[in-house]
């Protein structure tokens, strides 16, 4: 595949696979959305490549990113993770994952649940952007900023506007593949078949 989005290092097979198979694909699973939000928080100040290569270790260390399990963690688990070289060992981000798991579970019990709530900031369906050049793609958006403010008000950590917009791009709330990218049209087609968000 040629003509991919300009941020993809063509010589990195893991990055290429992430772009071709995951990035921008609409995600409606609650656990998967929680995982991606947490990993984007861990990315703060780092490259996504660092997180991508450590993702298998993260998934093992964080018990499959099950928010119910993580919400029950205490200082013992934090200390264990701080000794795990396979992940990003940052106390604040590890503790934020626990705080965010508890906030996520609270959101699940409110209204239509976490999935529908997050998607509602983007109109409940993927936004189809039409960017022609890499420099046209924004780092955030009004919807991303509004979602960031909402999450912060609910007690979430490491969820600033840039992090939240990167999350929205990754989970297909917005289709930010360039119009010249071979993945733009297939992702748009997936969006057309996306179910209504639910628990």
User: Is 159 annotated for ligand binding?
Assistant: no
Q: Spell out the domains of the chain, with CATH numbers in brackets.
A: 13-192 (1.10.340.30)
Segment holding 141, helix H or strand E? none
Residues 23/176, Cβ–Cβ less than 8 Å: no
**Angle, CA of 17, 97 and 61, to the nearest 5°:** 60
Number of Cβ within 10 Å of residue 36's Cβ equals: 19
CA dist., res. 198 & res. 29, Å (int): 9
3-state SS class at 174: strand
Q: Could you tell me the pLDDT band of residue 192, with boundaries at 50, 70 and 90? A: confident
Per-residue pLDDT of 11-68, as tens digits, reads 999 999 999 999 999 999 999 999 999 999 999 999 999 999 999 999 999 999 999 9
Cα dihedral 37, 171, 17, 10, rounded to 10, equals -90
Residues 178/19, Cβ–Cβ less than 8 Å: no
User: Is 19 annotated for ligand binding?
Assistant: yes
Residues 30/113, Cβ–Cβ less than 8 Å: yes
Spell out the residues 6+ positions from residue 127 whose beta carbon is closer than 8 angstroms to its own: 143, 173, 174, 175
Compute the residue count for the chain.
199
Find, among 103, 102, 47, the residue nearest to 74 by Cα.
Answer: 102
User: Is 5 annotated for ligand binding?
Assistant: yes
Is residue 187 pLDDT above 90, yes or no?
A: yes
User: Is 177 annotated for ligand binding?
Assistant: yes
Contacts 24+ apart (CB under 8 A), 12-21: 12/49, 14/52, 14/53, 15/49, 15/52, 18/52, 19/183, 20/183
Per-residue pLDDT of 75-118, as tens digits, reads 999 999 999 999 999 999 999 999 999 999 999 999 889 999 99
Q: Does the reported pTM lie above 0.75?
A: yes
Cα dihedral 73, 62, 164, 106, rounded to 10, equals -40
CA dist., res. 87 & res. 91, Å (int): 11
């Amino acid at each position: 595949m040629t003509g991919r989005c300009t941020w993809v290092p063509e010589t990195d097979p893991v990055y290429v696979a992430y772009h071709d198979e995951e990035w921008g694909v609409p995600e409606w699973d609650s656990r998967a959305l929680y995982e991606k939000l947490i990993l984007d928080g861990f990315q703060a100040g780092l490259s996504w490549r660092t997180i991508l290569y450590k993702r298998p270790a993260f998934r093992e260390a964080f018990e499959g990113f099950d928010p119910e399990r993580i919400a029950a963690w205490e200082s013992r688990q934090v200390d264990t993770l701080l000794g795990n070289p396979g992940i990003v060992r940052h106390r604040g981000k590890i503790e934020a994952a626990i705080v965010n798991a508890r906030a996520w579970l609270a959101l699940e019990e409110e209204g239509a649940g976490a999935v529908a709530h997050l998607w509602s900031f983007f109109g409940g369906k993927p936004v189809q952007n039409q960017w022609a050049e890499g420099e046209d793609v924004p780092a955030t958006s009004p919807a991303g900023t509004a979602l960031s403010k909402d999450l912060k008000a609910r007690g979430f950590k490491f969820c600033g506007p840039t992090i939240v917009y990167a999350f929205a791009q990754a989970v297909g709330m917005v289709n930010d593949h360039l119009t010249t990218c071979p993945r733009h049209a297939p992702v748009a087609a997936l969006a057309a078949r996306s179910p209504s968000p639910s628990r």
